[in-house]
Structure 1
């Protein structure tokens, strides 16, 4: 028993020591400050204003950065170094003093030409930087401290773009929704920053179904005729891909591989084939769809349903929506209401089409019939919901089923 009390006493002493040590390291060992006032009594409420005067300047010096305090270097390859000289002018009436301050991690301030600048005179400071390899844009800064009362610190900025040997713009080609049976065109621009001239040989695609339907074309143009962001490129190509009908309905993602080689002064290939890749993404949709609204929703696979929730005795039983028919077969197709389920509860009525240039819209009204018992079509179990079929008289336009998810409370 005596060992128990001894062990308990030792545990208490050790625990208290650890707690005191932790508290001391975190709090007691650090100087305490209230603003500029410290706990030692050296700076108090009586002398704090006098202490702050050392940080305030009444100098007549006025610092001005010639041209701009921000330098845009345009574009540089990853891991390369650059430098720029900023010129500081004193436009005030008293000498301007300058001191090198903090810099961000990718910048280095060189020595000042003169740390004291007379009124009307200038001095220069060189800023060096190293371009990161994992970014597409660059922005770093450095600071000069001054005795200018209105500008105690000058922030010098370096910005620009980080470029690889080749670039696509846009680097992701999206074509949105394309109707089954329609052709469409994709486009992007391909830039080369290589010292050697290149020649594009072909375009390939990772999707086997996409390849036989795609016609690849690359046309070279002067980079200076395009956007200013790529005006420094050595070569530029306008790439177009014409895609013929034949893709299956659903999401589409494929990689486009541009095959090219370096060429000599005579245009003859040099070395191995090189490759540049970018992504193509979009969705091939059926010609028949619905316009979503408060009650009409779509699933991940592109199916549509009325999501009506729980309808009480006073809620309406008719809901309007619009069917959309587009594509090359829209004018040669008539729609009608097919089978509905459950019969006697779910039905629909189709209105006359509203003509548009690219789309024909068909008003549709969903009609529900209540009974003396609860009708549960919320789809808690598989196929435990209602539905309406939209029929087409054109074999190239498939029929479409619209689900109905609803619970109808009893009505007299």
Structure 2
């Protein structure tokens, strides 16, 4: 009886161990490092694909499978004439141990044709795959492709590509930037135009919505560094001037009319123009912040406090202007502006007089400011915020 009990206990222990092992098998799961749970399916798919490719590569090396080897699969023709028919031969060789089959499956456009000299290559043989296409008239960079299907297990589809750029009748930049300037002063720039097909052309006119717009034409050598690599037959420069009045960035467009030297129809190009007008007046101090302004902190009204800044009016017209303090807030502040020996430079002094009443101007939405400018020109001014507080400790 005792032996039967022991046997039952041992059998129960084996069952428990097996069940426990099954439970552990169901709950333990190994995850690859660095892979998020949401990307696990994508990771597994990529891993399976890599394993399949490695399997094919191994089987191919262990057999006499065909091997397609192209000397090159891409060619750049550079600059070509419009509406030209061009061709390129790509040489392919069978480096494998069994016949290689080839078929041009498709091309990227109807203007491209792919032809095979031989569709079956015995081991060691080679042949040409010829791509022929018409460039058309578009003045732009192009790329055309042909896809060759093979029975090479490692390269079932091989991509061949040809590229180049069709010569243009007239090229102008999409946009140019003008030099930064001061208000009501000239902002200059240049627009370079060139042709890869015309021996000569002339600029008949230019119009623009830019204020004070003026233009002038100048010849440009085809050997000039800015156009030399484009291999132009002719080139010109349109020098332009604008006279913006408002501070900040400005934009506009220049519409150019060109007459080809071969007597063909006029050509029009539109160029976008951008520029910037500097602030007419700048404030200089180690204590002034570009966006927050000048912080006077909290000052006791039992005595006088003074703060000084350099005010500068850059530009050629600085000597002709007379700057003044136009506005001050809060009214408890006093501001004086004194010209210095150098034209366009002034010393600005802010004063908190002794005995000033208490006032707070350091809260959101309630700041002070100082505005300086030409009293005869409302566009010629600038200002900066002033923060602080005047308190009486008595």
User: Partners of 1:73 and 1:319 in 2: how far apart?
Assistant: 69
Equivalent pair of 1:287/1:325 in contact (CA under 8 Å) = yes
Q: Report the TM-score when normalising by structure 1.
A: 0.56
| Contact 2:105/2:147 (<8 A) preserved | yes
* Runs of 5+ unmatched residues, structure 1: 1-33, 37-47, 265-269, 298-304
Q: Is the CA contact 1:164–1:193 (under 8 Å) kept in the aligned structure 2?
A: yes
Equivalents in 2 of 1:55, 1:76: separation in Å? 44
**Partners of 1:239 and 1:292 in 2: CA distance:** 42
1:313-370 Cα distance to aligned partner (Å, 9 max, x none) = 9xxxx999986643224588897867531134697999999x9xxx999998999999
Partner residue in 1 for 2:234: 235
Match of 1:282 among 275, 278, 281: 275
From 123, 127, 137, the equivalent of 2:127 is 123
Match of 1:221 in 2: 221
Of the candidates 362, 383, 386, which is equivalent to residue 402 of structure 1? 383
Conserved 8 A contact 2:362-2:387:
yes
Q: 1:401 to 1:73 in 2, by over 3 A?
A: same
Is the CA contact 1:198–1:261 (under 8 Å) kept in the aligned structure 2?
no
Q: 1:254 to 1:342 in 2, by over 3 A?
A: same
2:371 paired with 1:389: yes
RMSD of Structure 2 on Structure 1 (CA): 5.6
CA distance in 2, matches of 1:95, 1:136: 44
Change (3 A) 1:102 1:253: farther
- Partner Cα separation in structure 1 for residue 351 and residue 139 of structure 2: 56
Contact residue 360 and residue 390 of structure 2 kept, 8 A: yes
Which of 294, 316, 331 pairs up with 1:343? 331
Partner of residue 207, structure 1: 209
Q: Secondary structure at the match of 1:248?
A: coil
The answer for unaligned runs of 5 or more in structure 2 is 1-43, 300-305
* Aligned mates of 1:112, 1:292 — CA distance in 2: 77
Q: Any conservation in 1 of the 2:98–2:123 contact (CA below 8 Å)?
A: yes
Q: In the aligned structure 2, how far is the partner of 1:202 from the partner of 1:192?
A: 16
Identify if the C-alpha distance between structure 1 residues 93 and 348 changes in structure 2 by more than 3 Å, giving closer, same or farther: farther
In the TM superposition, what whole-angstrom CA distance separates every residue of 1:139-182 from its partner, at most 9, and x where no partner exists?
454443556677665432333346653211x3212114222354
1:156-235 pair list within 5 angstroms: 156-161=160-165, 165-168=169-172, 170-194=173-197, 197-207=199-209, 209-211=211-213, 214-222=214-222, 227=227, 230-231=230-231, 233-235=232-234
Tell whether the 8 Å contact from 2:94 to 2:121 is kept in structure 1 after alignment.
no
Aligned residues: 333
> Which residues in structure 2 correspond to 1:43-58 (within 5 Å)?
53=56, 56-58=59-61
Q: Structure 1: how far apart are the matches of 2:229 and 2:385?
A: 51
Q: What is the CA–CA distance in structure 2 between the aligned matches of 1:133 and 1:247, rounded to whole Å?
A: 40
Distance, in Å, in 2 between the alignment partners of 1:324 and 1:150 is: 72
Whole-Å separation in 1 of the counterparts to 2:151 and 2:100:
6
Q: Deviations over 1:195-236 (max 9, x none)?
A: x6543143321227434xx231131533797546521x4432
Partners of 1:106 and 1:130 within 8 A in 2: no
The superposition leaves residues 220-269 of structure 1 with CA deviations (integer Å, 9 ceiling, x where unpaired) of: 533797546521x443223333x38x5423544343233332445xxxxx
Structure 1 residue 281, shift from structure 2 partner? 2.4
C-alpha change, 1:103 and 1:177, in structure 2 (3 Å) is farther
Q: For 2:281 and 2:331, locate their aligned partners in 1 and report how far apart those are by CA, in whole Å.
A: 24
CA distance in 2, matches of 1:320, 1:154: 75
Question: Could you tell me whether the CA contact under 8 Å between 1:252 and 1:282 is conserved in 2?
Answer: yes
Which residue does 1:248 correspond to in 2? 245
Contact kept? 1:204, 1:257, Cα under 8 Å: yes
| Alignment match, 2:290 | 296
Q: How many Å separate the matches in 1 of 2:272 and 2:361? A: 48
Task: Check 1:344–1:235 CA distance in 2 against 1; reply closer, same or farther (3 A cut).
Answer: same
Greater C-alpha radius of gyration: 2
SS at match of 2:181: strand
Normalised by the length of structure 2, the TM-score is 0.58
